[in-house]
Amino acid sequence: MKFDYDLFVIGGGSGGVRAARIAASEYGARVGLAEESRMGGTCVIRGCVPKKLMIFASQAGAAAAESRGYGWQGAGEGRFDWAEFHGKLLRELDRLEGAYTSGLVNAGVEVHMQRARLHDAHTVELADGQRLSAKHILIAVGGRPQRPDIPGKELGLISDDLFTLDRLPGRVLVVGGGFIACEFATILQGLGSATVLAYRGDAVLRGFDAEMRRHATEQLRAIGVDVRLGTNPARLDREGAGVRVTFEDGGSEIFDAVMFATGRAPYTKGLGLEEAGVRLGRRGEIAVDEWSQSSVPSIYAVGDVTDRVNLTPVAIREGHSFADTIFGARPRKVDHRLVASAVYTRPHEVATIGLTEEEAEACGPADIYVASFRPMRSLFAGSDARAVMKLVVDGETDKVLGCHIFGPEAGEMIQMIAIPLGMGATKADFDAAIAVHPTLAEELVTMRKPSRRVGAAKMDKPAASA
């Protein structure tokens, strides 16, 4: 059968763009791609990139204040101009979108700027009614923010909306305690909004190492965020120009804006997946195997739509591996077991890879190495903020099982730590490295004695049956 394309990609985010570009430019495949919104997807247009730029903006005022501790007079006496910053931000996003689009076109990919859905296992239907056939179809539509199912939920903003605000709210409620909630609370407070963060748990960043969670929670409070744990909104009502929030405990307050950061879900609704026979998981994610192949052999999926590890670099690696496997005769799987990540709070970031202390404790004996200290730069300027470095080490093999960092530029450090951990480094390997002084990262190679040992002895493995 002759197809219009060798590959058709639905979704112009990081994973889909990488797969399309590699398949076309490196392997000569005939590739089409459809994107219903803006090229670049969540990360480039309404996620990682604008968020990080806003984090930089939110840090600038504190950096100016810190400079006074180093003798600079009159620093930090200006005010933040949202309109000026926002205009520059939008221009940068336009530039990036253009770069993504031109990269695809130059690679030979035919771009369709409209929504696409499956018609059958080898056919996609565009919003204009046109049907196109492909030997292989890749779904890379990502995920979308979700609002909690409470009365008045439509009055709340989602994370996408933060990048389109005409002006910053004077007083804002951020609902949630994950990556996005912590980062956006940091941004809004840093840019001048009086910020309340309401989270139903007992510390932010559920799933992270408990020690890192505690420090992240305390830091949000230290920078001025009103953190309310064990708190959840029950309903939202419009009141004048604001929103009245009634909480589950019966109390209520008025905010200029409410932002929900209560999770994301795979964006699979209306794609024709079930009709085409594609099996979905409990949350609507596309169920795939280790090769990113769905239950329909010609249909694959990468990125957040599969709900495996929902991070941009993972989607990129999955998309590249798909192209290498299908079009390059270079079979490659993605190992999702050891992936580093970072939360860009301020002044200290939270970065992590591998097992938490709690996970290690459940597996068997583990030695926990911890260094807690006041960094030189902020200490000299008069800050009491502490940084924390933590290694989780197998008590029997000496292999480093996890690393957790709470400190300035923690994300930069964890990227380098991901390399030795991926190679199976031991604590002795870390000890053998000579420190670079004076740096924050030197603490990772100078911790000689464990702070504590956790976990019982590992149980003997049962003998294999004859």
| pLDDT tens digits for range 435-454 | 999 999 999 999 999 999 99
* CATH placement of domain 153-262: 3.50.50.60
304 in a labelled binding site: yes
> Tokens representing 312?
């941009």
Residues in the chain, overall count: 466
CA 405 to chain centre: 16
Look up tokens 């400190």; give the residue. Answer: 407
Could you say which of 112, 119, 348, 437 is catalytic?
437
Residue-level pLDDT at 75:
67
263 in a labelled binding site: yes
Where would I find the beta strands (DSSP E) of 302-386?
341-343, 349-354, 366-373
Confidence of residue 456 (pLDDT cuts 50, 70, 90): confident
Calpha distance 437→451 (Å, rounded): 23
Residue-level pLDDT at 330:
96
What mean pLDDT comes out for the span 229-235? 98
Residue-level pLDDT at 1:
83
**Omega cis (within 30) before 331:** no
303 in a labelled binding site: no
Higher local confidence (pLDDT), 160 or 74: 160
3-class state of residue 89 by DSSP: helix
As a whole-number percent, the residues of the chain with pLDDT over 70 amount to 97
* CATH placement of domain 5-144+265-327: 3.50.50.60
Interior angle at CA 343, CA 160 and CA 351, nearest 5:
155
Q: Give me the amino acid identity at 362.
A: A
Residue-level pLDDT at 79:
85
Check whether 463 has a pLDDT greater than 80: no
Confidence of residue 457 (pLDDT cuts 50, 70, 90): low
Residues of the chain with CATH 3.30.390.30: 347-453
Residue-level pLDDT at 459:
42
Calpha distance 75→269 (Å, rounded): 51
pTM: 0.93
35 in a labelled binding site: no
Calpha distance 330→322 (Å, rounded): 9
> Tokens representing 382?
């008069």
What mean pLDDT comes out for the span 103-113? 98
The residues that bridge with 8 in the sheet, in sequence order, are 32, 137
Q: Which residues contact 337 (CB under 8 A, 6 or more apart)?
A: none
Confidence of residue 48 (pLDDT cuts 50, 70, 90): very high
Confidence of residue 462 (pLDDT cuts 50, 70, 90): very low
Calpha distance 395→389 (Å, rounded): 18
Is residue 171 within 8 Å of residue 194, measured between CB atoms? yes
Residue-level pLDDT at 466:
27
Considering the segment(s) 347-453 as one domain, its CATH architecture is 2-Layer Sandwich (3.30)
Residue-level pLDDT at 189:
97
Check whether 464 has a pLDDT greater than 50: no
Where b means 16+ CB within 10 Å and e means fewer, 389-401 reads bbbbbbbeeebbb
Calpha distance 221→394 (Å, rounded): 34
As a whole-number percent, the residues of the chain with pLDDT over 90 amount to 94
Residue-level pLDDT at 65:
85
Residue-level pLDDT at 76:
63
Mean pLDDT of the chain: 95
> Which helix H or strand E contains 307, and what residues bound it?
none
State pLDDT tens for residues 370-419: 999 999 999 999 999 999 999 999 999 999 999 999 999 999 999 999 99
437 is catalytic: yes
158 in a labelled binding site: no
Residue-level pLDDT at 460:
43
Check whether 78 has a pLDDT greater than 90: no
Residues of the chain with CATH 3.50.50.60: 5-144+265-327, 153-262
Residue-level pLDDT at 355:
98
